[in-house]
Amino acid sequence: MKIAVVGTGFVGLPHAAVLAEQGHEVWACDIDPARIEAYRSGEAARIERYVNEPGLAASVAENLGRHLFFSSRMEEAAAGAEVCFMCINTPPNRDGSTDLSFYRAAAEQLAGILAARTDGRRVVVVNKSTVPIGTARLLEGILRAAGAPNVGVASNPEFLAQGNAIDGSRRPDRVVVGADGEADFELLRRVYPQFQNHVRIRYLETTPETAEAIKYVGNTLLLTYISFWNGVGARIAESLPGVRMEDLKLGVTADSRISTWGSYVSNGAGGSCFGKDIQSLIYQLGQAGQATHLLQAVFDINEYQKSYLIDRAVHEAGFGFNQTTVALLGLAFKKRTNDMRDSAALKAVENLLGRGVKAIRAYDPLAMDEARSRWFNPEQNHLFERISYHDSAEEAMRGADAIYISTDWEEFRGLTPLILSHARPPCLIIDGRRMVADVESLAAAGFGYLPVGGPYLPPGTAA
Ligand code: UDX
């Protein structure tokens, strides 16, 4: 079946590639011709400059010109398509609401194209990227206003986590399709024949509004787990003597009703989705006249978590950051990505510079170019000149007065010997991911240790 994918970012490109793997004829379009050129080249390095996901470039190269086609002209992509997926970016506005201007522009363009079709065949336009509850209805209005004949609307949200887009699309937990009638449900079943009557994959058909709400409630609940563990579990283990974080987690999550996901306490969850989606849901419920205390608390706890270890260092360890050198280990919002959107490291840098640090020595296995060029560009803020970039964790920690571990990169698990050989006591280790093992040796060697989810160990203490 011919399928059009409108928008080829993190949502659209993996989706197009995996649909093509199923043998559909997939036409993906984008308003950015440079992207389209890169994808058409089939070269991994060029594709990965735009979307870097394991297995994605190989999948694109494999299907290019056979099942997968790219165009910068929406007319070409949409011609003869039975299903058009909207994979357009929906960034947040300042007030938390969703900026639908890019989405609207693309929807209006598509509506004009569909209105000009003369083949009489039914086409369904499907929202794939996260859009506020009610956007399928908005789309319906846009299509109707343009006079597009025989068109349906649907919602089929994307649930992918970064770093797992291709595998996640090939083997999702669930496929949620919200549509208005049998004709459109049937078109979507033909898009996803491999997920019908599957033993493990839940294929759910519902209303467009319910499908849109499932995406928001799912993401908000995931952040609620994280904020619960950071705001309650970690605080207990930090402040009530004798409580061990890992055992607390194991004991509680052994209950089959309780998720283990989210129980990994941290210096706050980042990424492009959680913060944006919960703020949008708060806005949507607020507009509906509903109270949003719980959601606001979940959001606030997560935001506070991103700078709270620095506050703890001041209050519990008496560490004055003014004129000190801090090694910042990890810039990305999670391991295995160079993405820094909403990353805890952004807040840490802001906080550290605000406290007058002399230097920040940064290291991240993947995100240093991203940091230099986009987030900490000294042309935007001259204080960013205080950040230097280093090729390894040991390089970064040389001469540091404090070491702040911000991302859960696997390589940070083995830091103890490196700290012992490359940092000098009484350097304070601030562990935002509970990565450091053998903290007794560190304390015995004269280092201070301050972890999320545990009490402060001053230099010289036994754990
Ligand atoms: C998330 C959702 O998982 C996905 O379903 C949705 O479609 C998009 O948002 P992603 O942003 O890629 O995906 O990241 P995820 O792996 O969920 O992690 C989000 C953040 O939470 C990261 O900063 C991560 O390090 C942190 N995290 C995760 C914790 O701090 N503790 C945990 O237990 C789990």
Q: Report residue 446 as tokens.
A: 């004269």
**Do 431 and 449 form a contact (C-beta atoms < 8 A)?**
yes
Residue 267 alpha carbon, nearest atom of ligand 1: 30
Please give the Cα distance from 126 to 156 (Å, whole number): 6
Please give the Cα distance from 298 to 294 (Å, whole number): 6
| Ligand 1 centroid from CA 269, angstroms | 6
Question: According to the model, what pLDDT value does residue 147 have?
Answer: 98
**Do 220 and 298 form a contact (C-beta atoms < 8 A)?**
yes
| Ligand 1 centroid from CA 16, angstroms | 23
Please give the Cα distance from 113 to 122 (Å, whole number): 14
Question: According to the model, what pLDDT value does residue 414 have?
Answer: 87
The per-residue pLDDT string of the chain (463 residues; one tens digit each, 9 = 90 and over) reads 999 999 999 999 999 999 999 999 999 999 999 999 999 999 999 999 999 999 999 999 999 999 999 999 999 999 999 999 999 999 999 999 999 999 999 999 999 999 999 999 999 999 999 999 999 999 999 999 999 999 999 999 999 999 999 999 999 999 999 999 999 999 999 999 999 999 999 999 999 999 999 999 999 999 999 999 999 999 999 999 999 999 999 999 999 999 999 999 999 999 999 999 999 999 999 999 999 999 999 999 999 999 999 999 999 999 999 999 999 999 999 999 999 999 999 999 999 999 999 999 999 999 999 999 999 999 999 999 999 999 999 999 999 999 999 999 999 998 999 999 999 999 999 999 999 999 999 999 999 999 999 999 999 886 5
Mutate to test the pocket of ligand 1, among 10, 156, 167, 222 (most ligand atoms within 8 A of CB): 222
Q: How far apart are the first and last CA of the chain?
A: 63
Q: Is there a cis peptide before residue 426, judged by omega within 30 degrees of 0?
A: yes
| Ligand 1 centroid from CA 320, angstroms | 32
- Where would I find the H helices in 229-292? 234-239, 245-253, 274-287
The pTM score is: 0.96
Is residue 307 within 6 Å of ligand 1 at its C-beta?
no
Residue 268 alpha carbon, nearest atom of ligand 1: 30
CA angle, 408 then 412 then 418, to 5°? 160
Closest protein CA for atom 9 of ligand 1? 273
Sequence-separated (6 or more) residues with CB below 8 Å from residue 454: 237, 238, 245, 434
CA angle, 15 then 20 then 24, to 5°? 115
Please give the Cα distance from 233 to 244 (Å, whole number): 10
Is residue 59 within 6 Å of ligand 1 at its C-beta?
no
- Annotated catalytic residues are 273
Question: According to the model, what pLDDT value does residue 463 have?
Answer: 53
Residue 130 alpha carbon, nearest atom of ligand 1: 7
Is residue 409 within 6 Å of ligand 1 at its C-beta?
no
